[in-house]
A and B are shown apart, each in its own frame.
Chain A
Amino acid sequence: MQRLSGRERILTALQRREPDVVPHMELWLNPIVAEKIIPGGSIEDLTESLDIDGIAYYTVSMEKYEVLDQSKGIIRDKWGVIKRDTGQTTPHPIEAPIKSEKDLESYVPPDPDDPSRYEPLKKMVERFKGERAVVAIIEQPFMRVNEMRGAEDHFVDMIINPDLLLQLNEIVVDHHLKVLGNFIEMGADIICFSGDLATKDGPMASPQHLEKFGISPLGELVQFVHSRGVPCILHSDGNIMPIMEMLLGTGGIDGLHPIDPVAGLDIGVVKEQYGDRVCLIGSIDCGPLMMRGTKEQVRQAVKENIRKAGKGGGLIAASSHSIQSKTKPENYVEMVKAIREYGRYPLSLD
């Protein structure tokens, strides 16, 4: 088969067909690791240097924050959520802006057309357009509202104050529709909706609550993105197996990430049951293996991943969440190399 570009590989995999080689990309890659692999280099530089097939832009981690207390890492995001940044992954919410209905009256969501929010995405598109897939990540309404209202209140509201949540969902959907329109206009090839719907034990809420407060607003957004001819990836950690039908029914998600092994998901089983309906992305252990494993162990894990889920296409090889600050740089380099080596179609791993 002729050599495809990274963008073509990823788009082909999302259509559940075989590209020339199993594609690879990460949705989150810690800049510390990029810097260790290419001293002085950025994630963009690393993407080019390792010939990674796609690159992701995550509004939440790349947007500018209002710094409230530098020494403690306390910041306020554009939605008014006060967060702490410990430099590990994305900052974690510690105080919600909507404490009661009253706060809703004066609440102003961020400006979806603020050009400063799109600068990093624009740069990525300029550098990689046509060559590598540019993925724009936005939070699922469920996660966004969870942060606006505070985790415990968000859950309790599903029972005692559903109207407030529906109003918040509406604010988020209105905002997101405009942002998604901007993403697509600027040249994003793929949209990813991030945010967890499950813990490792199972779904966070009952199917009825998830449908009403999570899936229904998400479906509206997926439908919009699809109407513009752009594919969608859904990210959720945790054991999503009990709600898989509901997730796949969400306007026809094209890709599912990260097939969380910590929650007991086996990519081989998911491939067998759902591989004909959705492209699978992830599952290579980002924890002990990438942080402490040997290169040989990484190679074996990649081989296993492709053997289990690569057949017939529909696989984007990736870690089981992200490349985190404590990932051994040489393990990530080895992972990318092994994907190229074992991932050549037609596969011959059995």
Chain B
Amino acid sequence: MSQFDKIAQSLIGQDVFRAADLTRVAIDDGVAAIEILNQGLLPGMQIVGEKFRSGEIFLPEIFLAGKAMKGAIALLKPAFQKEGAPSRGKVAIGTVQDDIHDIGKNLVIMMLEGNGWEVTDLGVDVHTEQFCSVVREKELHILGLSALLTTTEPRLKEVIDSLEAAGLREKVKIMVGGAIVTQAFADEIGADGYAPNAVEAVELVDRLLNK
């Protein structure tokens, strides 16, 4: 088994310590950080995502694998600071105003980061104006909106309408998600895409940006 396969396996096995140890060894061996990420960590995390989607693993396992991934990436950070951080594109995600649920959103962030996207977590209870200013100020590829409550679902449309009114709608692709959101609702409010879970959110981002 190659060094990269072992790193991938450590994520699949949700082994926080082994993932860190193997990453450290690879760095010491002079392997480029970008290779450790692209050939070890990312493929590992992709398999974790697949296992989650197929019902083979559940929230405890995916959060623990995410923890292992985060620990390994933290070790790669100094190298990235020298070499320049790799990024496939920029995504910002937040839960809409009056809604403070974040497990789903955090899972999506974890999976996107685990797939090489640079993600800004806007947090929860993000007001419509905040979403607009983030789009105005940052060079984003994707804006993700999350809503869990039936009472906050209308906020998704509000954000899209406000971006439209401010002339910002064309700047970003918008994806929506959350327990009550459906594809039909996403279409109705003019979102670019909807994903029912974190794994499909990654596929959606790939699709939206044709990557």
Interface residues of A (CB under 8 A from B): 84, 86-89, 92, 94, 151-152, 155-156, 158-160, 199-206, 209, 237, 242, 262, 286-288, 291, 321, 324-326
Q: Which residues from chain A contact B152 at a C-beta distance below 8 Å?
A: 88
Contact of B100 among A94, A205, A326 (CB under 8 A): A94
B103 touches A324 (CB 8 A): no
Which one, A84, A86, A324, contacts B150 given CB within 8 A?
A324
Q: Which of B19-27, B54-62, B160-168, B202-210 contacts A (4 or more CB under 8 A)?
A: B54-62
Contact, CB under 8 Å: A199 / B179: yes
Considering the complex, which residues of chain B in the window 117-165 have a beta carbon less than 8 Å from any beta carbon of chain A? 124-125, 149-153
Would you give the shortest CB distance from A190 to chain B, in whole angstroms? 26
Cross-chain contact A326 with B150 (CB below 8 angstroms) = yes
Q: Which residue of A lies closest to B67 (CB)?
A: A156
Shortest CB distance A205–B (Å):
5
B98 part of interface (Cβ distance < 8 Å): yes
> Is B193 close to A, CB under 8 A?
no
Min distance, Cβ B183 to any Cβ of chain A, angstroms:
13
Q: Let me know if A92 and B196 touch, CB within 8 A.
A: no
Q: For the complex, what is the distance from the CA of A205 to the CA of B14, rounded to whole Å?
A: 15
Q: A88-B152, A92-B101 are in contact. Are A159 and B125 (CB under 8 A)?
A: no
A160 and B68 alpha carbons, distance in the complex (Å): 12
Which residues of A are found within 8 Å of B106, using beta-carbon distances? 152
CB-based contact A159/B99 at 8 Å? no
Give the docked Cα–Cα distance between A291 and B125 (Å).
21
Min C-beta distance of A320 to chain B, whole Å: 9
A146 (CB) vs chain B CBs: closest residue: B103
Interface residues of B in 21-67 (CB under 8 A from A): 55, 57-61, 63-64, 67
> How many chain-B residues does the 8 Å CB contact rule pick out?
29
B197 at the interface (CB under 8 A from A): yes
* C-alpha spacing A205/B61, complex, angstroms: 8
Chain B residue contacts of A155, Cβ below 8 A: 59-60, 63-64
In whole Å, how far is B57's beta carbon from the nearest beta carbon of chain A?
8
User: Whole-angstrom distance between the alpha carbons of A287 and B179 in the complex?
Assistant: 11
How far is A151 from B103 in the complex, measured between Cα atoms in Å?
8
Instruction: Kindly list chain A residues whose C-beta atoms are within 8 Å of the C-beta of B57.
Output: 206
In the bound complex, do residue A262 and residue B180 qualify as a contact, i.e. CB atoms below 8 Å apart?
yes
The A/B interface has a contact count, at CB < 8 Å, of: 76
Asked whether, in the complex, the Cβ of B151 is within 8 Å of the Cβ of A156, the reply is no
**A207's closest neighbor in chain B, by CB?**
B58
Check if B58 sits within 8 Å of A203, measured CB to CB.
Answer: yes
Q: Return chain B residues, CB-CB under 8 Å to A288.
A: 150
- Cβ contact within 8 Å between A159 and B100: no
Chain A hits for B150, CB < 8 A: 286-288, 291, 321, 324, 326
Q: In the complex where A199-B179, A205-B59 touch, is A160 in contact with B64 (Cβ < 8 A)?
A: yes
**Quick one: CB contact mask for B71-96 with A, threshold 8 Å, 1 for yes?**
00000000000000000000000000
Asked whether A86 lies within 8 Å of B98 as measured between CB atoms, the reply is yes
CA of A199 to CA of B106 in the docked complex: distance in angstroms? 14
Which residues of chain B are within 8 angstroms of A200 by Cβ–Cβ distance?
179, 196
Q: Are A206 and B67 in contact (CB under 8 A)?
A: no
Given A92-B101, A287-B180, the answer on whether A159 and B14 have CB atoms closer than 8 Å is yes
- For residue A150, give the distance in angstroms from its CB to the closest CB of chain B: 11
Closest 8 CB pairs of A and B: A287-B150, A92-B100, A155-B60, A158-B60, A86-B98, A155-B59, A326-B151, A205-B58
CB pair A159–B149 under 8 Å, yes or no, is: no
Chain B residues near A321: list those with CB within 8 A.
Answer: 150
Provide the bound-state CA to CA distance between A202 and B57, in Å: 11
Question: Can you list 8 contacts pairing A with B, beta carbon distance less than 8 Å?
Answer: A88-B152, A89-B151, A204-B58, A206-B60, A287-B150, A288-B150, A324-B150, A326-B151
Give the complex CA separation of A318 and B176 in angstroms: 29
Residues in B with CB closer than 8 Å to A199 are: 59, 104, 179
Do residues A159 and B64 form an inter-chain contact, with CB atoms below 8 A? yes
Roughly how many angstroms separate A92 CA and B125 CA in the complex, as a whole number? 11
Q: Report chain A residues within 8 Å CB of B151.
A: 88-89, 291, 324-326
Complex: how many Å from CA A94 to CA B100? 9
